[in-house]
Amino acid sequence: MSNWSAQFKKDCEIAFNEEHWQKINYNTGCYEKRFANSRDNYRNAELEKQRAYILCNKSLMNMEKLLVDFETHFNENGGNVLWARDMEDAQEMIWEIVNRRDIKAVMRSNSEVLDEIGLNAFLAGKKKPLFETHVGRYVLQQAGQAPYHPVFPAMHLSKEEINGILHDRFKLKLDSSSKQMVNFVRHQVSQEIEQAQVCITGANFLLSDVGGVVLTENEGNIVKSCASAKVHVVVAGIDKVIPSMEDLSILLPLSASHATGYPMAAVNTITFGPSQTDQGPHEMIVILLNNGRSDLLGNEVVRQSLSCIHCGACISVCPVFKNIGGYAYGTPYKGPIGTVMTPLMLGLDDYEHLTTACSLCGRCTEVCPVKIPIEDLIIENRRLVATERIGDAKFEALVRTMIGHCKSRKKMDCAQWLKRLEIKQLVNKNAFTKRTMPELAPRSFSQLSKEEDL
């Protein structure tokens, strides 16, 4: 068992706690209600999803050309494009930008790709102050906690817990209302935005035809940060590129309604390069991150995962996420799409345990706005794990036992207690420590049919 796998089991235990469950189920329940209502905004939601599916597939198939076109147009607009092979490359590029300009403080947006490159830990190691500009993430930073969910990073905290964090850190009075807390944090964030000279963000989409970077948010802090920074650095996975600005009419409403349940994000910005006036960043750099994405692109089956627009809908509806929580995944990409992408990007050896974090209920596939067949991709990952295990004597013995058992009528009809014992051995010794094993029928169908003389 890898260290990651052992850690996964420990972290799952944290979520086995009534209070924790209640908070997660309450918050995901609110999201699901809003999401269900948002479907009313579409005359034909399935048709729109089909359009998005075709568009995303077209983008993946032409990624190479679209990226080169994006670079050409973005350079023409006065920006600069850098290509990062992996996380270390991206970190070095960011350090070069920050260090060469003698930047005192950096601010960042809520973005999974910035977590993917380990930005916070990297800058902390370099002793460079980093400010979070997202309200939820700002609170988490004060408590030294990582985000729990990509769209609602502090969904695991109750109002009282947030009040406690702000009280400990800033002496905010303990019975503050939600509105008072939000206003307080917004004020803190505004002050920090004024101090930081570099703003680092992700990108929702990269527009190949005009060299534009699309950023969507609900708080308006990204646009404020970008407007006040001297330098704007964008880190974007190479999968973020889409052909044209017109495509946003399909993707932006789908992304917003699936992320939060609201028809559109409150603030949508397209930035084309450095500012042409006295205000806004005088330098804009886009770091295009590969980090294993081109390997995924080369695999006909799993490449569909790169269509993900990171709306977080699959995470919010997944029963496994609701039970094991966001921290158990141990990586920035959580929930169903994390279950697909993490083992493929970071290695099956360390992350094969994630392929078991799925009951194959299909909810993620049902809600995905770009029609990624997530559960099929999880099954494909399981197949890859099983293929890798061929030759492992213990695994092969287990499979032989299962086959032998299923083929033998005598074994299938054996006593209930013996079946239970075998299931425990075959499935996983730890699988039934926290939940009860389903009751087995006292007699098999074959036995019943003989008795009833069917």
Output 185 or 340, the one with its CB closest to ligand SF4: 340
Sheet containing strand 80-84, strands side by side: 80-84, 283-289, 231-237, 198-201, 106-108, 130-132
Shortest Cβ 375–ligand SF4 spacing (Å): 4
Output 59 or 365, the one with its CB closest to ligand SF4: 365
Query: In 10 A of CB 427, how many CB atoms?
Result: 11
Alpha helices in 110-212 (DSSP H): 112-116, 119-125, 135-143, 159-170, 178-195
Q: Binding residue for ligand SF4 (CB under 6 A) from 56, 63, 234, 318?
A: 318
Question: Are the CB atoms for 306 and 128 separated by under 8 Å?
Answer: no
Does 352 bind ligand SF4 (CB under 6 A)? Our answer is no
Q: Binding residue for ligand SF4 (CB under 6 A) from 375, 377, 380, 384?
A: 375
Q: Which among 27-35, 171-179, 361-369, 410-418 is the span making contact with ligand SF4, rule CB under 6 A? A: 361-369
Output 148 or 205, the one with its CB closest to ligand SF4: 148
Output 253 or 336, the one with its CB closest to ligand SF4: 336
Q: Which among 7-15, 61-69, 253-261, 356-364 is the span making contact with ligand SF4, rule CB under 6 A? A: 356-364
Does 361 bind ligand SF4 (CB under 6 A)? Our answer is yes
Residue type, 104: K
Does 12 bind ligand SF4 (CB under 6 A)? Our answer is no
Output 81 or 318, the one with its CB closest to ligand SF4: 318
Tokens found for residue 316 = 């919010």
Distant-in-sequence, close-in-space partners of 149: CB < 8 Å, separation ≥ 6: 155, 156, 312, 315, 316, 326, 334
Alpha helices in 171-318 (DSSP H): 178-195, 221-228, 248-259, 293-297, 313-317
Task: Read off the DSSP letter of residue 80.
Answer: E
Q: Binding residue for ligand SF4 (CB under 6 A) from 156, 232, 363, 371?
A: 363
Size of the site for ligand SF4 (CB under 6 A): 14
Rounded-to-integer distance, Cα 284 and Cα 287, Å: 10
Rounded-to-integer distance, Cα 255 and Cα 260, Å: 9
Does 25 bind ligand SF4 (CB under 6 A)? Our answer is no
Sheet containing strand 205-207, strands side by side: 241-242, 205-207, 212-217, 267-271
407 to each of 45, 340, 400, how far by Cα in Å?
46, 32, 11
Q: Which among 174-182, 234-242, 286-294, 362-370 is the span making contact with ligand SF4, rule CB under 6 A? A: 362-370
Output 349 or 366, the one with its CB closest to ligand SF4: 366
Question: Are the CB atoms for 65 and 73 separated by under 8 Å?
Answer: no
Does 319 bind ligand SF4 (CB under 6 A)? Our answer is yes
Positions 157 through 186 that interact with ligand SF4 (CB under 6 A) = none
Q: Binding residue for ligand SF4 (CB under 6 A) from 29, 220, 362, 404?
A: 362
Q: Which among 25-33, 294-302, 312-320, 405-413 is the span making contact with ligand SF4, rule CB under 6 A? A: 312-320
Tokens found for residue 255 = 């992304």
Does 322 bind ligand SF4 (CB under 6 A)? Our answer is no
Query: H/E element holding 69?
Result: helix 63-76
Shortest Cβ 337–ligand SF4 spacing (Å): 8
Q: Binding residue for ligand SF4 (CB under 6 A) from 147, 150, 312, 336?
A: 336
Does 320 bind ligand SF4 (CB under 6 A)? Our answer is yes
Interface residues toward ligand SF4, by CB under 6 A: 318-320, 336, 339, 358-364, 374-375
